[in-house]
Structure 1
Amino acid sequence: MALHFETEEYANRLRRLTSKMREEKLDAMLLFAQESMYWLTGYDTFGYCFFQTLVVRADGEMVLLTRSADLRQARRTSTIEKIEIWVDRANADPAMDLKNLLSEMDLLGCRIGVEYDTHGLTGKNAKLLDNQLQSFGELVDASHLVGRLRLIKSAAEITHVERAAALADDALDAALPLIGPGGDEAAILAAMQGAVLAGGGDYPANEFIIGSGEDALLCRYKSGRRRLDAQDQLTLEWAGVSAHYHAAMMRTIVIGTPTDRHRELYSACRETMQAIEMVLRPGNTFGTVFDTHARIMDERGLARHRLNACGYSLGARFSPSWMEQQMFHIGNPQEILPDMSLFIHMIIMDSDTGTAMTLGQTYLTTTDEPKALSRYGLDFIEV
């Protein structure tokens, strides 16, 4: 097997999960989120876009139902011993195969948790699932059960988080010499992704974001490249990735002379980041972090230019997004605890003046002040 962690690490995760299941009075779980399967067993694939599920009984028995293309993938990358295959065919209904499997596992009439809130379960497949199982047992939406367990990182996971952060720094190292008048976005992007891969890292769960000029105000990837002008702005959001664990960073870099508005927005970003560092500690909540962000931005008259979230938990994720379920937005009661890996981002997009400014880095929480995982700090970058 090709595993990133010792077998005892996976055994401990299974114990944590089954303990939580018993607490929630669940006889079984149907895991559809690829990151849940990966966290629990090491199973590593992109076949989750088709129907597949890992059935976990409260007594610890696990069976994977998947396609033939993923049979050897599961054997090679995971601790899963029992694998069942549903056959690709016209008008296939893999939910029927699942019902038969659950019956064989003596789960008829039981209380079964389902991970509905995941890109590993399409709307069509969810309808098939509900149609087959609505009279089989009691289905419970348990979409966030594993996600909450994954919020706290083990010592072995933190090793990968810190390696990912070093790779993120390496990516910025590779980009900076290429940023300047006439610089090619394509070359910058290639250098950043190349640095992560050359350092032994992985592809990220979503594309790196790169945009200059007017596109610097976008905070999503889009196709198309341009060369930098003598007076320009470049927004980058990227992540180092180790064993699928992400450490993200974000910067807006000014080419030429920064405008007063660039300086003003950067000052707001930095002040807010430093204020958040004071509350990114046990005893506060994710909602507290967002409230700090909103208060400072709004006091500076930037309410129209900021976002309605200022970061999220990071971990081992699969496409289409490296964002975890828990985000820094208004009213989130999730408590901040030690050993969380959390990405804080300040994103100000002033469409009135066409000015962009961002600042973001990943932190590891402790029993007190958070540990910033990048060696770059929060300094303004201009070329």
Structure 2
Amino acid sequence: MRQRDDMTFPHEEYVRRIEGLRDRMRERKLDAVVISDPENLMYLTDYQTTGYSFFQALVVPLDGDCFMVTRNMEESNVHARTWVEKTRPYADNGDAIQRLIEALREFDLYNCTVGYERNSYFLPAYQQDRIHSAYTAGRLLDCFGIVEEGRMIKSKAEIEVMKKAAKATEAGMRAGIDAVKAGVTENDIGAAVSSAMFRAGGEPPAVMPYVTSGPRTMIGHATWEGRTVQDGEHVFLEIGGCYRRYHTAMMRTVVLQDKLSASMESAQRQMQKALRELKKYIQPGLTVSDADKIVRDIVSDGRHGGALITRSGYSIGIAFPPSWDEGYILSLMQGDPQILKEGMTFHIIPWVWGVDGNKTVGISDTIYVTEDGCESFFSLEEEFTLKPGDKKAASTPPKAEPPKAKSTNGKGASA
């Protein structure tokens, strides 16, 4: 492997990842794997591009050199960003799958047992069919998850990169909270969040921030659409900051009142308690199902009229659009017997959907599992932000306009 000066991690980190992958390949009796998922390519090589809708693949043999098959235009990303030295690009009017098959022949991998990511978002069925039709001398097996097994547990170096993403997340959230007031638009808030994230060193996230107000908070995964925030309403913010494709995320709620209603107070209290209790019990060995139950039971016990309608958390780390989470690798859900391990990272989301039947609110945290507990990536207070309206201005009646002077035109008529 060669080391580029601007790579995210030192040479040793990529060696560890490739060797870990090869250990799992031996366990599965695979001679090579074809990796096409953008997050997995980033994890193994530091390769990234926004052009991942075109076919791209890293081929990792059990022995010998790795190589990449990419679109001609994307080959520069291999040479500029990664340790990979061998590439086999294809032209825009070329045949990407045929280029892959030719490369497998060239590197003596045509009559082998080769794994491929059957569940990759960016390896569609028609391309998989063509690979099966063309790769006739060997055997193709689904190896989906073989890279993710390594990604699930972050190294200390990865944790440090996620701390940089967390600075962007927190800067964006503070700016978003500051920007909320009656009369501004959701777009104004989104602009403040985005500017602060990027000024704090953040890079383009997999998903732009979620900003909704009032009744629009009940629309799942909605974000700003120009609505003007009204006095007395609440604003829901969910922000995922990014650095070198690693993400951290948090939810917060701003209420434009001087006092919370009983139901909103209950929602805040239960979310705070859920985060506090879960972080008290998280440690290596706790099952995913038990972690979810802690959060779900506490949220359900409130008198807020809402519910936790989703999983209570998900793995988070490397991400490209369309999502910032690694929930397909591991999510905190009922019935999952997997255990937590040191180095796992989660966005914990005890958010409440449907407070009073028409409000969604959230307080969340991104944590990493330590040797004997967990730590948060953030320092921001885990509470609602109250922003009372300007009561003085609201209660002062408008000044009466002075009476207009009357004038005559000599006939007694007013002008």
- Would you say same fold, with TM above 0.5? yes
The one-letter code sitting in structure 1 at the alignment partner of 2:104 is L
Q: 1:105 aligns with which of 95, 98, 107?
A: 107
Matches within 5 A, 1:65-80: 65-80=69-84
Matches within 5 A, 1:1-383: 1=4, 2-89=6-93, 93-133=95-135, 135-222=136-223, 224-256=225-257, 257-300=259-302, 305-324=307-326, 325-350=329-354, 353-383=357-387
Per-residue CA shift, 1:297-352, capped at 9, x if unaligned? Answer: 34447897322311111112111111112111122233211122211011211176
The one-letter code sitting in structure 2 at the alignment partner of 1:308 is T
Runs of 5+ unmatched residues, structure 2: 388-415
CA–CA distance in 1 between the matches of 2:339 and 2:65? 31
CA–CA distance in 2 between the matches of 1:36 and 1:249? 24
For the Cα contact (< 8 Å) 1:314–1:343, is it kept in 2?
Answer: yes
What SS is found at the alignment partner of 1:307?
Answer: coil
Task: Kindly name which structure, 1 or 2, has the bigger radius of gyration based on alpha carbons.
Answer: 2
Deviation at 1:199, TM superposition (A): 1.9
The one-letter code sitting in structure 2 at the alignment partner of 1:368 is D
The one-letter code sitting in structure 1 at the alignment partner of 2:353 is M
For the Cα contact (< 8 Å) 2:113–2:138, is it kept in 1?
Answer: yes
CA RMSD of aligned residues (A): 2.0
For the Cα contact (< 8 Å) 2:177–2:385, is it kept in 1?
Answer: no
Deviation at 1:72, TM superposition (A): 0.9
CA–CA distance in 1 between the matches of 2:272 and 2:384? 9
CA–CA distance in 1 between the matches of 2:207 and 2:138? 36
For the Cα contact (< 8 Å) 1:204–1:239, is it kept in 2?
Answer: yes
CA–CA distance in 2 between the matches of 1:190 and 1:304? 30
What SS is found at the alignment partner of 1:25?
Answer: coil
Per-residue CA shift, 1:166-199, capped at 9, x if unaligned? Answer: 2211112212221121132212111111112112
The one-letter code sitting in structure 2 at the alignment partner of 1:98 is L
Per-residue CA shift, 1:87-137, capped at 9, x if unaligned? Answer: 222xx542222122112222233221212222222333233333333x342
Deviation at 1:382, TM superposition (A): 1.7
Q: Report the number of matched residues.
A: 380
Mark the CA change 1:278 to 1:137 in structure 2 (over 3 Å): closer, same or farther: farther
For the Cα contact (< 8 Å) 1:49–1:119, is it kept in 2?
Answer: no
Taking structure 2 as the reference length, what is the TM-score of the superposition? 0.86
The one-letter code sitting in structure 1 at the alignment partner of 2:339 is E
What SS is found at the alignment partner of 2:88?
Answer: strand
Per-residue CA shift, 1:47-85, capped at 9, x if unaligned? Answer: 211111111101252110010110112110111100101
What SS is found at the alignment partner of 2:364?
Answer: strand
Runs of 5+ unmatched residues, structure 1: none
Mark the CA change 1:126 to 1:302 in structure 2 (over 3 Å): closer, same or farther: farther
For the Cα contact (< 8 Å) 1:208–1:221, is it kept in 2?
Answer: no
CA–CA distance in 2 between the matches of 1:278 and 1:218? 32
What SS is found at the alignment partner of 2:123?
Answer: coil
The one-letter code sitting in structure 2 at the alignment partner of 1:378 is E
For the Cα contact (< 8 Å) 1:345–1:361, is it kept in 2?
Answer: yes
Per-residue CA shift, 1:364-383, capped at 9, x if unaligned? Answer: 11011210111013223221
